Amino acid sequence: MSHCRPYSGTFTGEAGPSGRIPPRSEIPQEYTWNLEAVFPSADEWEESFLLLGGEMERLGGYCGRLFESPETLLEFLKLEEAASERLGKLYAYAVMKSHEDTADAARQARADRAGTLLAAYGAALSFYRPEVLAAGQEKVNGAIEGCSALGKYRHHFDDLLRTAGHVLGLQEEEILARSGEIARTPENAFSLLTNADLTFPVILDEAGRETELSEERYYLLSRSKDRRVRKDAFEGLFTTYGKYRNTLAALYSGSVKSDLFYSRARKYPSALEASLHGDNISPSVYSMVVDTVNRNLDALHGYMALRKKALGLEELRMYDLNVPLADEPETRILYGKAVEMVTDGLAPLGAEYLDVLKKGFSSRWIDVFENQGKRKGAYSWGSYGTHPYMLLNYNGTLRDVFTIAHEAGHSLHTWFSHAGQPQVYADYTIFLAEVASTTNEALLLESLLEKAPKEEKIFLLNHYLDQVRTTVYRQTMFAEFERETHSLAEKGEALTAELLCALWKELNERYHGPEMVLDDALSVEWARIPHFYSAFYVYKYVTGFAAAGCLSSNILRGGEEERRRYIRFLSRGSSAYSLDILREAGVDMTSPVPLEQTLRSFREKTALLEELLEQGS
C-alpha cells in the first residue's frame, strides 16, 4: 500500500483542486469507484451476510468427515470456495464503503461487523488444516487419485503438508494458539507507547512558527530546505526516543524472545528459518541479499558524497538525506494528463495489458480525489469475483502520477491473477506483492526521463536514487539488524539498550560510509521501527525491488516473448512457489544477479545526476 499527499481543496473539474475540501456529493461520479458493482445496495449486502452464516454452519458439518470419500472432500472445497468468495465481497465492500467517509457511523459499524465475520469464518474452518495434516500425504494422494477434479488442488495440499514436521499435537497446538495474545504484548505496548504516550517537543518551522513535532510531521520537516529545521526535528525526535531506550529495548527483546519461543516449539533450527518457511524460501536467499548489498556499499558511499557536494555541506548528517536535490515541478498535472502519462509509460507491456489498464481507467475502478472524511493515502483492493479497485487522493503532483502507476500495477496483477487461476490460487504471495507495482514505476520512470527537461530530470533521478537508498540499502540494513539480534538472542545474549544502540551505530557507519557524520542521537533509531515486530519481513522489499528492476529491463530490451512471460507471471497467482514463478518470468532471486543489476543502475543514475548537477554549477 503506497501513500500520496492528499489535495487540500474542492473539486473544480479538470482544472484541479482549490479552496475547501469538498463533500463527496460534489465529486463527479466518473471520478468515484463503482462499489454498486459488488452490492447494488446495503440491503443486498445484509442479505448476503445472512446467507454466509448458513454456509458457515454447513462447512462446520464437515469437521471430522473430510476424508470419508474423495467426493466429500471435493464437496467441502467447492462450498468453501463459494463461501470464501462471498466473504471477500462482504468484507471488501464494507471496508471500502467506510473509506468513502470515515466519519459515517453506519458505514464504520458495517465494517466492524465484516471484521467480526472474518474472524468467525476463520474459527469455523479451524479444523481444516489439522485434519488434512492428520490425514497425511498418502491419504491425500489417494483422494486425488480417486477424484480427478481434486487434481487442481495438488499444489495446495503439497504446500500445506510441507509444514507437517512443524505442527504439534492437538493439545500443544491449542496451547500455542492461546499464547498468541500474550506474544503480541510487546508489539501492542510498542504501538501504544510510540503512538499514544510519547510526546515530542515543539520546534520552530521555516517561518519561525511553533510546530509540535510528531512522527507524522517528521518526514515533511526532514525535507525542509532550512537545515536548522531539519536538525531540530531530528534531535527532537531521536532525543525523545532516547529517553525511553531501556523500555523500548525490553519490548523489542520480548518480541525477539517470542520469535525464538515459537521457532523452537515448532522444531525449526532458527527463528529466521521459521519465518521463511511459509514462503518456502531458503535462508541462503536472505543471506544473498545482505551479502550482495554489503559488497556494493561503495555505491551508496558515492551517493552520499554527491549529496554532500550538491547541498554544499562541510559535513553530511543523517538529517540531510531526505531534502530533495531538486524541487518537484510546480505545474499541476491534470488527472486526465496523468492517466495519459501512465498509459504511455506502460506501453512496453503490450496491447493485452493496456486494454485492461484502459478499462480500469474508464470503468470506475478508481476513487480519484479527496473528499471530506475520505481515508488518506492510496491502495489497491478488491476480492475474487470482483474487478480490482484503487483508492487515490490525487493532488496533481508528479509523485501522484507514480502512485497511479504503482497502484495500477497491484490492480492489474490482481486482475490477471484472478482471471488466470481458480480461487484456491488466485491471490499472489506477499513475497511477490510489490513486484508488479514497482515494475510499473520503473517503466514510467524511464518513459519520463526520455522526455523530461533538465530540472525535471534531476528531480526524477533524485527520486529514483532515494528509492534505492531507502528500499534496497536501508531495508537490507534493517534485515541485517534483525538477523544479528535474533542470532545473539539464540546464543543467550541479552538485548540491552546499550547493545542495540552499539549495533545500530556500527551498521549505519558501515552502510553510509566515510562522508556521513553520525550524531549520537541516531543510535536509538532502531527503537522507532515498527517492522521489527514482524521479524524478517523487510527483506521482501529488497527482493521485490530487484525483481521489478530486472523485469522492467527485460521488457524494455525485449519483445513479444518478454511481454508474454510477464503476463504469464501476473497470471500465476500462488499456483506455484514464489521463487519458481519469478524464475519462469526470467528472474532468479536465489542468484545475486537481479540485485547486482539494480545496484549497477543505481551507480549509473548517480553518475548521470552528478553530470547534470555539474552542468548547472
Residues 21, 7: Cα–Cα separation, whole Å: 8
Measure Cα distances from 512 to 19, 227, 481 in Å.
43, 20, 15
In degrees and rounded to multiples of 5, residue 380 shows phi and psi of -115, 135
Grid-cell match 533509531, residue found: 525
Going by C-alpha positions, the residue among 262, 208, 248 that lies closest to residue 232 is 208
Look up 482 and say whether it is catalytic.
no
Residues 345, 306: Cα–Cα separation, whole Å: 29
Helix (H) or strand (E) holding 399: helix 398-420
Q: What angle (nearest 5°) sits at the alpha carbon of residue 393, between those of residues 387 and 396?
A: 115
| Identified catalytic residue from 55, 100, 370, 407 | 407
Helix (H) or strand (E) holding 367: strand 366-367
Cβ atoms within 10 Å, residue 114? 20
Asked if 288 and 590 touch (Cβ cutoff 8 Å), the reply is: yes
Q: For residues 489-516, b (16+ Cβ closer than 10 Å) or e, as one string?
A: bbeeeebebebbbebbbebbeebbbebb
DSSP state of 520: G
Asked if 318 and 518 touch (Cβ cutoff 8 Å), the reply is: yes
CA dihedral 481, 483, 489, 494 (to 10 degrees): -10
* DSSP codes joined into one string, 297-346: HHHHHHHHHHHHHHTT-SSEEGGGSSS-SSPPP-S---HHHHHHHHHHHT
In DSSP terms, 11 is beta-bridged to 17
Active site residue ranges: 407
